[in-house]
A and B are shown apart, each in its own frame.
Chain A
Amino acid sequence: MAQSPSGDLVSEAFRLRGVLQSGAPAVDQSLALIPLSMAQQWLDIGEGVTDVVIRVFEHDMADGVQADLQQHLSADQYEVMRWVDIDPMIQQWTEMADASTYFILMIVVGIVLVEVLNTMLMSMHERIREFGLMEAVGTGKLQLFAMMMWETVILVMIGSLLGYLLGAAVSLHYAGVGINISDFSEAFTFIYMDPVVHPILTVNSAARIIGVTLAAALLAGLYPAWRATRLNPVSAMREV
């Protein structure tokens, strides 16, 4: 049953062809999809439509398209709205997702700092005698420092390479099969979205995380390297 533009109450019977399951009850219980031509006939509006949805390729293109359309369409007949105008919640939601990504990144950086610091300090501690010996036979402070920093870089490079291969494999796998989040769909009742999300692996996000972890690792490597240069060869060699 529906109200036509002329104000008449019209009704029509349709044959059910399938049931759409978005996972979001609000959508599933209130939305029925019918072909456009049928709707036009039923409501007696000829070729008329009430809404036109334009899908752009990238989020950022929405503003430009809106401005263009507003220029070409008279304002008292057409309302041109971006997706964020229709539902500001969505924007907040994506901003929150970005914020949580940064938060996770910070945690990762923290873990990298602590782990590298711990590993390199232990590795230095294990080799106190060896550093003492190296200095005794003529190794300079700068050479010891550089050696420790190189070890840190190599450790982190191997670690990030392995981690990255693993992460990319997981990411690509789920990009293919998708992640079914319909169990959490209650949380998204305010929007209609596909309950299966597909992660995207971008060079940008990969470069960002590698850059950040490498920087964090180098930072964490400074202290053990500095400590190695502070060892006194005589007491280092006495160390049991």
Chain B
Amino acid sequence: MALIEAKGLCKHYQLGEVEVAALNGVDIDLDAGSFAVVAGRSGSGKTTLLNMIGALDMPDAGVVRIQGEDFLNLSRDARAEFRLRHIGFIFQAYNLIRVLSARENVAYVLQLQGMNKRERLEIADGLLAEVGLADLGDRRPDQLSGGQQQRVAVARALASKPDIVLADEPTANLDTQTGGELIDLMQGLNREHGATFLIASHDPMVIETAGQVVQMQDGRIVEHA
């Protein structure tokens, strides 16, 4: 059984008078331990696909299963709980809670899982060391560079030991070198710990590194390599 199975995903948005088909029948299977990139130009439906897989949004048609579990009939709170258990998120920007330090941001999801303070801060410190921010745990997001903030987001995404990490344009706000380092970091975590990544990006550098590329266009998958 694939870790992630999505079948016939459709999502339409109403933009004024026009109806936009953000997703138009998308099937995708992902195995545990993959490092996959969803490529495609802006507006091709990458974010929408990730939101469906991440239980952030509901498809109009189709189904997503993560380890055989689907979340179509779950309440909003139950879906939040589902995300907490199964999915790690890295967004393009604004990943962190402003008033919390880096380690508190990482520990936040563990707090939601009910872990005690000492234990969760210990895990957060370990993860921050792993993403190369061992000494910056006490800094607040506005005291970190863009690249450092994204590293904290990577640590936070892994903290809950999710089945899959979904990263939506994680390098879009970074310069080439910092973006490259972030991708190297994620690849390292994938190789060494078997963490599964699904990354939406139109950054050629990101696409190059992918073990698996899903090319999207106008809400459909046009190439799967």
* A and B physically associate: yes
Task: Show the binding face of A for B, using Cβ within 8 Å.
Answer: 127, 129-130, 133-143, 233-234, 237
The A interface, classified by DSSP as helix, strand, loop or mixed, is helix
Given that A234-B56, A237-B91 are known contacts, is A141 also in contact with B97, CB under 8 Å in the complex? Answer: no
**Cβ–Cβ contact B56 & A137, under 8 A:** no
Can you name 8 A-B residue pairings with CB atoms under 8 Å? A133-B89, A134-B97, A136-B91, A137-B84, A137-B156, A138-B81, A138-B112, A142-B77
**Cβ–Cβ contact B97 & A138, under 8 A:** no
**Cβ–Cβ contact B77 & A140, under 8 A:** yes
Number of B residues with CB within 8 Å of any CB on chain A: 23
Please name the residue on chain B nearest to A142 by beta carbon. Answer: B77
Is B95's beta carbon under 8 Å from chain A? yes
**Cβ–Cβ contact A137 & B77, under 8 A:** no
5 closest cross-chain pairs (CB), A and B: A138-B84, A129-B94, A140-B77, A234-B57, A138-B83
Residues of chain B with a CB closer than 8 A to A130's CB: 94, 97-98
**Cβ–Cβ contact B112 & A133, under 8 A:** no
Tell me the number of A-to-B contacts counted with CB atoms below 8 Å: 49
Is B109's beta carbon under 8 Å from chain A? yes
**Cβ–Cβ contact B80 & A135, under 8 A:** yes
Query: Which chain B residues numbered 73 to 99 have a C-beta less than 8 Å away from chain A?
Result: 76-77, 80-81, 83-85, 89, 91, 94-98
Residues of chain A with a CB closer than 8 A to B108's CB: 137
Residues of chain B with a CB closer than 8 A to A141's CB: 76-77, 80
CB proximity of A146 to chain B, nearest CB, Å: 13
**Cβ–Cβ contact B80 & A139, under 8 A:** yes
Is B148's beta carbon under 8 Å from chain A? no
Given that A142-B77, A234-B56 are known contacts, is A137 also in contact with B112, CB under 8 Å in the complex? Answer: yes
Is B51's beta carbon under 8 Å from chain A? yes
Please name the residue on chain B nearest to A132 by beta carbon. Answer: B94
7 more CB-based (< 8 A) A-B contacts, given A133-B95, A138-B81, A142-B77: A133-B91, A133-B94, A133-B96, A136-B91, A137-B84, A138-B160, A140-B77
Instruction: Encode B36-76 as 1/0 by CB contact (under 8 A) with A.
Output: 00000000000000010010110000000000000000001
Q: How far is it, in angstroms, between the C-alpha of A142 and the C-alpha of B85 when the chains are bound?
A: 18
